Amino acid sequence: MIRTVILDKDQKPTAEQIKQIEEAAKREIVFDEDSPELTPAMEKAFRLAAKNRNTQRKTGVS
């Protein structure tokens, strides 16, 4: 199960949220046909896309 929580800039995660994150970090990643393991080329493209997206957010470009 995936749970998404949005925190405000000055908000800290609760102790329960921290515990959930620590437990999730211990779990093994499971790849399937809907979420395959990335090849090195796919990973590079993903990182570049994320970098470009983050750069656009900082400059206010939509």
> Residue 17 is encoded by which pair of tokens?
């949220």
Whether 12 contacts 20, CB under 8 Å? no
pTM above threshold 0.75 = no
pLDDT in tens, 8-52: 889 999 999 999 999 999 999 999 999 999 999 999 999 999 999
Domain of residue 59: give its range.
36-62
**Domain tally, the chain:** 1
Q: At residue 30, what is the residue type?
A: V
Residue 27 in domain: no
Dist CA 60 CA 24 (whole Å): 33
- Does some domain include residue 21? no
Asked if residue 46 is part of any domain, the answer here is yes
